[in-house]
Amino acid sequence: MSMNLYVGNLSYSVGNSELQALFAEHGTVKSANVIMDRESGRSKGFGFVEMADNDQAKAAMKALDGKDVDGRNLTVNEARPREERSGGGFGGGGGRPGGGFGGGRRY
């Protein structure tokens, strides 16, 4: 069973191949993807790695979380499933009556 890992606090110089090589020391990497900013084309400083085996992923997480890579201490943990985005684009009102803009009542 494969496991997805979130990798944060990456140096902006780290690309997909460097990320894959870092995790390959701990097991089989199915994919490694550094998230890039669409407009600038630069790294956003985080990425995701999919490891082929849960035990290898846990070993990689333990070994690499907090590890100094290019002067930055990595954050490595199990990636949460991506949340479905609703089509509204304005991020819901949180279920509060009245819509939730401002705090005062209008009379």
* pLDDT tens-digit readout, 80-93: 887 776 665 555 55
Give the domain ranges of the chain: 3-78
Which residues have C-beta within 8 Å of that of residue 52, sequence separation ≥ 6? 2, 27, 28, 29, 30
- Measured between alpha carbons, how far is 75 from 61 in angstroms, rounded to an integer? 9
Instruction: Give pLDDT tens digits for 23-74.
Output: 999 999 999 999 999 999 999 999 999 999 999 999 999 999 999 999 999 9
**Tokens found for residue 104:** 């005062």
pLDDT at 105 over 60: no
pTM above 0.85, yes or no: no
Q: Domain 3-78 maps to which CATH number in 3.30.70.330, 3.90.1150.10, 3.90.700.10, 3.80.10.10?
A: 3.30.70.330
DSSP letters for 34-54: EEE-TTT--EEEEEEEEES-H
pLDDT band at 1 (very low <50, low <70, confident <90, very high): confident
Residue with tokens 């669409």: 38
pLDDT band at 106 (very low <50, low <70, confident <90, very high): low
Burial of 5 (0-12, 13-18, 19+ CB in 10 A): buried
- Our CA angle for 4, 49, 79, nearest 5°, is 35
- The pLDDT of residue 99 is 54
